[in-house]
Amino acid sequence: MLMALPPVIILPISYFVFKEKVGWQAIVGTLLAIIGVAILFLA
């Protein structure tokens, strides 16, 4: 699961600290990364 953590950590930092706009593509990509790693570990 550690491979899926960087997007989860970076998105809030870029939104709150750097005041960058986080698009829906970034959120969907993060969710896909987490789901993909979860499938790898559960299969």
Instruction: Confirm whether pTM is higher than 0.85.
Output: no
pLDDT of 4-17, one tens digit each? 788 888 888 999 99
Query: In whole angstroms, how far apart are CA 7 and each of 31, 35, 43?
Result: 9, 13, 23
Is the predicted pLDDT of residue 21 greater than 80, yes or no?
A: yes
Instruction: Answer positive or negative: Cα dihedral of 6, 11, 17, 22.
Output: positive
Over residues 31-40, the pLDDT tens digits come to 998 888 889 8
